Amino acid sequence: MKWQGDKDRILIKDLKSIIDSSATIRGRVTEIRDLGGISFIIVVDRSGLCQLVIDSRQKLPVLQSIVACTGRITANEKAPTGIEMYVEDLEVVSSPEKELPFNPARLNTPIRSDGPNIETLFNYRGLSLRSATHQSIVKLTSELLRAIDDFFRSRDFVEIKTSKIVGGGTEGGSGLFEVKYFERVAYLAQSPQLYKQTLAATPLERVFEIGPAFRAEKHATIRHINEFTSIDVEMAFPQGMDELMDIQEDLIKHCIAHLSSTCQDTIGILETELPKIDGDIPRLDLDQAKEIVTGVKPTRSKPAQDLTPEEEHKICQWALQHHNSEAVFVHSFPVSKRPFYTMRQENPRKTQSFDLILRGLEISSGSIRVHDPKLLKANLEKQGLNIESLSSYLEVFQFACPPHGGFGIGLERLLQKLLNLPNIRYACLFPRDRNRIEP
Ligand code: AMO
């Protein structure tokens, strides 16, 4: 192999400015059509694709080879991008030594639940990521992260990264992964909840973190994974739950606007549409939401507990029909359904908590937090949690803490719903579920 460096390389997107001259491109072979005398080969690089025209008597590269091709660039309306290269020299830099299980170009179609087998796609993730469809999700995710980052920084939030090896759980119901930590057992963090609260209690006041969160849940559904990316937000002195919901509403609208101006290519490839949110996102008390979807008014003796997945779908249909919004906030969940750090309302059976449901799926949860150490201790005791293991967290409150609150959004669920993907796994690079830790 004689790799010459890429000094003489030109990116495919720049070929249109040098029509009728000679150039060298480097990239990957994604399609080959042998028409007898001549062959058409598609080569892609990070900037686009180019059709090569080559004499079929020459030894042709095989699919997925990495090539360096030199030739004359000409305009041709019939070529996929309006230009093509008449190859004078083609060097194969690297070619597959193993048979491909599938041709990644065959995945260049919108993602549908009855599409190619999802397990095969993830078994050969390195290959499926070579398709335009899967790469476009990666690019859109990168733009989404930029939009989130810009949004929070422009509102005085400081980005933090906290440890993912922790001494205990924070999120009640969901399970913990154990890790051997020298002579002790440690756990993978379910959420940065306690750390973000600790930071919001400092004069920084406003923080956000985008990082991994681990849940040892045995679910096998289209909306659960065991490692997800959590977008965590925490702020001191919020003007109640409404300010937290306002911030989240502005964030979602900002993300949709940013993606719609930067990612039309991806949206086109996926043949999808970003969610519609005209005007305000409606905000419903859980009891109201339950009554809308079941037709039965919850009572004091039989209060609403939560929404089922079917009810989450129904409440979004209602929001679209009545408010032109594919998103809806549901708030005021009962104490029994929220973690120990959640502040109660004047009605002590309800909490100052909320979920955002987008296109039928809960994508985030948030609340005003308890900042009184006595109340916090009482909650921990009531829930049978180990106060000792949370002593350094409790000290944050014992040393005085401002009122504060925040929320956490699952990045992959957000992507799943923004792009209408049939399974959360398509929004992950390398999904982790009950049956998969490879690749
Ligand atoms: P919660 O446990 O509701 O709240 O999680 C917040 C959001 O994280 C995402 N999520 C998941 N995504 C994919 N697979 C999973 N198994 C999974 N579990 C959770 C969801 C969910 O809405 N500390 C609180 C947040 C807060 O109050 O600030 C928390 O973690 O999108």
Distance 108 CA to ligand 1 centre (A): 31
* Whether the CB of 191 sits within 6 Å of ligand 1: yes
Q: What value does the mean pLDDT take over residues 332-353?
A: 96
* Whether the CB of 351 sits within 6 Å of ligand 1: no
Atom of ligand 1 nearest to the CA of 219: 16
Instruction: Tell me which residue has its CA closest to atom 13 in ligand 1.
Output: 224
* Whether the CB of 248 sits within 6 Å of ligand 1: no
Is the pLDDT reported for residue 257 higher than 50?
yes
Based on its alpha-carbon atoms, the radius of gyration of the chain, rounded to whole angstroms, reads 26
Instruction: Tell me which residue has its CA closest to atom 3 in ligand 1.
Output: 365
List pLDDT tens digits, range 40-49: 999 999 999 9
% helix, strand, coil for the chain, step of 5 = 30, 30, 40
Element (H, E) at 111: none
CA distance 71 to 93: 17
Confidence of residue 383 (pLDDT cuts 50, 70, 90): confident
CA distance 346 to 38: 79
Exposed, middle or buried: residue 152 (CB in 10 Å: 0-12, 13-18, 19+)? Answer: buried
CA distance 73 to 82: 11
> DSSP characters for 249-286?
HHHHHHHHHHHHHH-HHHHHHTT--PPPB-SPPPEEEH
Please give the pLDDT value at position 290.
98
Q: What is the number of other CB atoms lying within 10 angstroms of the CB of residue 193?
A: 23
For the chain, the first-to-last Cα distance in angstroms comes to 28
Confidence of residue 384 (pLDDT cuts 50, 70, 90): confident
* Whether the CB of 404 sits within 6 Å of ligand 1: no
List pLDDT tens digits, range 423-435: 999 999 999 999 9
The CB-side HSE value for 288 (13 A sphere, CA atoms) comes to 11
How much is the pTM?
A: 0.96
Give the Cα-Cα-Cα angle 418, 424, 427 (nearest 5 degrees): 65
Confidence of residue 4 (pLDDT cuts 50, 70, 90): low
Confidence of residue 1 (pLDDT cuts 50, 70, 90): very low
Atom of ligand 1 nearest to the CA of 215: 16
Atom of ligand 1 nearest to the CA of 193: 23
Residue 43 phi, psi (nearest 5): -115, 135
339 within 8 A of 385, measured Cβ to Cβ: no
Q: Shortest CA distance to 315 belongs to which of 304, 307, 305? A: 307
CA distance 269 to 134: 10
* Whether the CB of 416 sits within 6 Å of ligand 1: no
Q: What value does the mean pLDDT take over residues 306-324?
A: 98
Ligand 1 pocket, mutate which of 160, 177, 194, 230 (most atoms under 8 A from CB): 230
Crossing angle of helices 309-323 and 286-294, in 10° steps, is 90
24 within 8 A of 70, measured Cβ to Cβ: yes
Please give the pLDDT value at position 6.
66
* Whether the CB of 130 sits within 6 Å of ligand 1: no
53 strand-pairing partners = 40, 86
Residue 212 phi, psi (nearest 5): -75, 150
Q: Shortest CA distance to 289 belongs to which of 248, 254, 332, 243? A: 332
* Whether the CB of 215 sits within 6 Å of ligand 1: yes
